[in-house]
Structure formats: structure tokens, C-alpha cells
Amino acid sequence: MRDFKKYHIWNLSHELTLETYSNTNSFPKDEIYGLTSQIRRSSTTIPANISEGCGRDSDLEFNRFLTIALGSASETEYLIILAKGLGFIEDNQASVLVEKVNVIKSKTHQLKQKLKLAYGIKPKA
């Protein structure tokens, strides 16, 4: 079993989640069950899926949970863009968050490629 806390992508995504919670504190109160909740949940599922994948029995299963984490990262990226478009978050802060999401996505993809090589699947060109 892997220790998810040792993975750089888990640490990055955990920090992103903390920042997302902090940034959404100022969202309009009528968004508490809408965008605020959705962006918090999507950012939370990134490190949650990495954690769950680490508890699985094989590289193949871990890779599947990394794929789910990538989907959550893309969802989070869009929701940050939406929040910016609605004026709930400053342009510069949205840019910082989107850049962090893209780093997480890139590093997660790199790890997936390493895992694929480990169990004999050639990476897509």
C-alpha cells in the first residue's frame, strides 16, 4: 500500500483544496449550495481520489483513480473560470489557481505514464 502523503501531486492538490475553500468564503451567500459547494467538492475529489488510489492493490487500479482525479481537476479548472466570469473571484487569483490546477494535471499525467510503463502498456503518442 502506498502512502498518499508522500506523493507530490497529493500535496499540491491538498493545498489547492485549502486555497479553494479560502477563496470561496467570499462568494455570495446565495451560492452556498451552488457554485461554492460545487467548486469545493470538485477540488476535494482531486486529493481524495489520489488517496483512494494509493489504497488499492495494483498500479492499474491506482492509475484508474488518477484518471478520475484528472477529471476532477478539469472540472475544478472550469469552475474557477466560471467564478471569475461571474465576478466572484479576482482575475489574478483565478489565474494563480488555474496555473496550480494545470501543474497538478501535468504531474498526474506524468505519473500515469510511469504507471502504464510499469504494467506494460505503451503510452499514447
64-83 tens-digit pLDDT: 999 999 999 999 999 999 99
What does the pLDDT look like over 24-40, one tens digit per residue?
A: 999 999 999 999 999 99
Which pLDDT does position 58 carry in this prediction? 86
**Confidence (pLDDT) at 67:** 97
Q: Do 1 and 7 meet the contact criterion of CB atoms below 8 Å apart?
A: no
Amino acid letter for position 47: P
Under 8 Å between Cβ of 49 and 34: no
The average confidence (pLDDT) of the chain is: 94
Cβ burial, residue 21 (10 Å; 0-12/13-18/19+): middle
Amino acid at 32: I
Q: Which domains does the chain have, with CATH numbers?
A: 4-118 (1.20.1440.60)
Task: Determine the Cα–Cα distance for residues 80 and 74; give it in Å rounded to an integer.
Answer: 10
What is the separation of C-alpha 111 from the centre of its chain, rounded to a whole number of angstroms? 14
DSSP state of 88: S
Q: Pick the residue with more confidence: 117 or 38?
A: 38
pLDDT for position 125: 54
Measured N-to-C along each axis, helices 35-54 and 59-85 cross at an angle, to the nearest 10 degrees, of 160
pLDDT of residue 103: 98
Q: Please tell me the pTM assigned to this model.
A: 0.91
